[in-house]
Amino acid sequence: MLSLYQLIAPLFIPIVVLGLCSSLLLLVWPRSHYPYLIAALIPAWFFLYWVASRPKSSSDGWAWFGEAILLLAFLAAIVAVAVRLIIAAIPFIPSLSGDGPLDWTSTKFSALTVALAGAIFEFGPPLARAWSASAVLLLLIILSAAGWALVHRRWKRDQSIAYSLAATATLSVAVVSIAVWPFTVVAAAQRYAGDREFCLLVGDGEYSARPAANLMELSPLIMRATESSGWARNRHGHIVLADAPSAPWSYMRGAFVPDPPGAMGFGIGQTDRRCRPQKDYIANLPLL
């Protein structure tokens, strides 16, 4: 199965270039197609925000420089929009002022999809910690099913259902991603362990981890590092082996990646004792 890194890597450079060049595009883009440009920039900027806001380890000193570049690019885009609006208000520049209102449907469609995805990303983990990962997944399934029922009902008498369809499709993608991801973690753990016994830990508060209670806790709802002031206080999760140091989980690589030689931190380079490795660990782990 492809890792998140393999899925994102081909798109990373084009999206970064689009984000960094957005100020120039916002200045020169034809007025009639302006809503489509904004619709494309909304997910691009959301992606860049996600990259910039990811918890950073103490070894990622370059991250602050990258964040500064993205911040400057975002401010430049805001200035470009302001300049464009000022120029468009001048009546004797028809190429920018134009005739008639613009159709912002595509922009609204993009904004709704990104806002809902961001809400699931931001509020899903806290709800999962308060309830359980299974409860949040069930809630998303119910909302998705209700959305598809609404789309089917409106489809017969109203073809303008883009907003309902966007929200429902986003919920459905979230459900599938959350439900499938634990099996990606399991496959990665089995590859890393080989014939050795192992068990899995998930992040639990600051500077701590605990054994996974079920397979659904291996989803991003629970298996996610705690962030404080932009720094990662713990790891997303670990694979624990009986005869070797534990290895942390990497979402970008879609695998358990050992810490590099010389890495510093609590427990790095030591045999982890926070769970007991077992031969049939996955078979004994409940689904929900």
pLDDT score for 11: 65
* 43, pLDDT greater than 60: yes
Q: What percent of the chain has pLDDT over 90?
A: 14
Predicted pLDDT of residue 55: 59
Q: What is the pLDDT of residue 186?
A: 93
**Structure confidence at residue 89 (pLDDT):** 66
Question: What is the band of 167 on the pLDDT scale with cuts at 50, 70, 90?
Answer: confident
Q: How many domains does the chain have?
A: 1
CA separation (Å) from 105 to 15, 39, 270? 22, 9, 55
- What local confidence, expressed as pLDDT, does residue 266 receive? 45
Rounded average pLDDT over 176-184? 90
Length of the chain, in residues: 288
pLDDT 10s digits, 84-127:
777 766 665 555 555 667 788 888 888 889 999 989 988 998 89
Average pLDDT estimate for 30-53: 81
pLDDT, tens digit, for every residue of 135-162? 999 999 999 998 888 877 766 655 557 7
Per DSSP, what are the bridge partners of residue 248? 238
Average pLDDT of the residues in 38-53: 80
2 occurs within a structural domain: yes
Whether the CB-CB separation of 288 and 221 falls below 8 Å is answered with no
Top-confidence residue, 103 or 6 = 103
Task: Tell me the C-alpha distance between 11 and 117, whole Å.
Answer: 18
- Higher-confidence position of 64 and 28: 28
Closest CA to 223 of 183, 163, 173, 270: 183
Residue from 234, 99, 107 nearest 166 by CA? 107
Task: Give 213-266 pLDDT, tens digit per residue.
Answer: 899 999 988 988 777 665 666 788 889 888 777 788 888 778 898 877 655 444
The more confident residue out of 62 and 132 is: 132
What is the pLDDT at residue 138?
A: 93
How far lies 195's CA from each of 243, 277, 278, 283, in Å?
A: 12, 12, 11, 15
Decide if 49 is inside a domain: yes
Reply yes or no on whether the pLDDT at 45 is more than 50: yes
Which backbone phi and psi does 35 adopt, to 5 degrees? -60, -35
Q: What is the mean pLDDT of the chain?
A: 78
Per-residue pLDDT at 81 exceeds 70: yes
pLDDT band (50, 70, 90) for residue 58: very low
Dist. CA 170–CA 168, nearest whole Å = 5
Taking the C-alpha atoms of residue 102 and residue 35, their distance in angstroms, rounded to an integer, is 7
As a whole number of angstroms, the distance between CA 50 and CA 105 comes to 25
Domain encompassing residue 46: 1-54+62-97
Q: Which distant-in-sequence residues (6+ apart) come within 8 Å of 168 by Cβ?
A: 144, 147, 148, 150, 151
Q: 6-25 burial string, b = 16+ CB within 10 Å, else e?
A: eeeeeeeeebbebbbebbee
Residue-level pLDDT at 116: 92
Residue of 52, 177, 163 lying closest to 111 (CA atoms)? 163
The pLDDT, as a whole number, for residue 159 is 52
